[in-house]
Structure 1
Amino acid sequence: MQKILVIEDDAIMGHMLCMYLSEEGYDVKQALNGKDGLQLMDELKPDVILLDLMLPDIDGMELCVDIRKRSDVPIMIVSMKTEVSERVHALKAGADDYLCKPFSLHELTARVYALIRRAQGSAKSGGAGADFRSEQAEDMSARSEEIKLDIERRLLIVRGQHVETTFSEFEIMRLFISHPGKVFSREDLINAIRGFDSFVTDRAIDVHIVNLRKKVEENPRSPRFIKTVWGVGYKYVQE
């Protein structure tokens, strides 16, 4: 049974989410503040975290950053804040999705399902056995001396240093490194990290690319690896 952690200080809203998601077959726990949320995260090891931005003890964005430092668990922000700037800020903080209140419970379930499906698909994508996964990882690593992916541990290694990534950033890098030179449109990247039943915008993809360039490029303003193809999208250049 997949586990969901709801970090929401509104007891009524939290109870509604827990009740609905439980009826959908999930094991759901709620924390009323950020401190309890971090403790429950360590105990529960959730498959998805639903995070409200307005908490009594800590700013939700700060908590999102803290969670991302500890885990690559998919994070969905659930908030009353509807400004585009808030969504962009959330993506930069490490969130994987953003849902504005009020929302359809059906849409919430679809997005939760999409996040879990993508995470599980990523975990299984190595193939039928450890040997295949090892070969795949070695193949990816060999394509660039400076940038490597450790598929087993979901780590990005840049010039010998482990670099933290969000779930979506890792999936984009996996796609790039698997297909060096191929041009991906923003729609291609959206479909790769979300699936067709979860919401993400072209702007969100651009934010992920900016964040990845900061992590892999020596000079993000003059990228060597992640190139913009004007009017189309992006490509990964293997040197």
Structure 2
Amino acid sequence: MKKKIVVVDDEKPIADIVQFFLQKEGFSIRCAYNGQDAMELIEEIRPDMIVLDMMLPDYDGVELCCQFRKKLDIPIIILTASNSENDRKRAFELGASGFVFKPFYMQELVALVKGCLLSPSKAR
């Protein structure tokens, strides 16, 4: 069975390209473009991983990460345009598995996704 990944990013072109490349690698991808839709989608499909934008219009991505972490023991990768050390520290403290900084190379994200899913105990 394909691993299920939810991509959450309010920038639809970014979510779409992430979806395209991860599907090419054999993953089953669903996208949400805001925090509310993400919470509903994640509850519905119970994914194996979440790729989550830190800055959403309706929710703080790090707070969402914390909420997801309380319900699910899966890797959560944060996408962010922020290079704030405090943001990264806070996200790791609240359960993020890794970071990818925008703009990013798709190969970097794909490698991180694969690494987290292949050794999930190390990625949580």
The percent of aligned pairs where both chains have the same amino acid is 37
CA shift at 1:33, angstroms?
Answer: 0.7
- In structure 1, what is the equivalent of residue 70 of structure 2? 69
Name the residue aligned to 1:108: 109
Per-residue Cα deviation, 1:57-92 (whole angstroms, up to 9, x for no partner): 111111111111111111000110112221111101
Corresponding position of 1:56: 57
Q: If the length of structure 2 is used for normalisation, what is the TM-score?
A: 0.93
Q: How many residues align?
A: 122
Q: Offset at 1:46?
A: 1.1
Three-state SS of the structure 1 residue aligned to 2:96 is coil
Residue 43 of structure 1 pairs with residue 44 of structure 2? yes
Q: State the alpha-carbon separation in 2 of the partners of residues 45 and 62 from structure 1.
A: 18
Q: Which amino acid aligns with 1:25?
A: G
Aligned pairs for 1:130-209 within 5 A: 193=122
Residue-by-residue CA offset, 1:139-184 (whole Å, 9 max, x unaligned)? xxxxxxxxxxxxxxxxxxxxxxxxxxxxxxxxxxxxxxxxxxxxxx
Matches within 5 A, 1:89-100: 89-100=90-101
Runs ≥4 in structure 1, deviation > 2 angstroms? none
How large is the Cα RMSD of the aligned pairs? 1.1
Q: Which residue of 2 aligns with 1:208?
A: none
Give the deviation of 1:99 after TM superposition.
1.0
User: 1:109 corresponds to which letter in structure 2?
Assistant: V
Partner of 1:86: 87
Unaligned runs of 5+ in 1: 123-192, 195-239
* Post-superposition offset of 1:31: 0.4
Distance 1:30 1:45 in 2: 13
CA distance in 1, matches of 2:75, 2:63: 16
Per the alignment, in what secondary structure is the counterpart of residue 73 of structure 2?
Answer: coil
Q: Larger C-alpha radius of gyration, 1 or 2?
A: 1
Q: Name the structure 2 match of 1:16.
A: 17
Please give the secondary structure, in 1, of the residue aligned with 2:104: coil
Aligned residue type for 2:17: M
For 2:49 and 2:88, locate their aligned partners in 1 and report how far apart those are by CA, in whole Å: 18
TM-score by length of 1: 0.49
Match of 1:29, SS? Answer: strand
Q: 2: distance between equivalents of 1:25 and 1:108?
A: 14
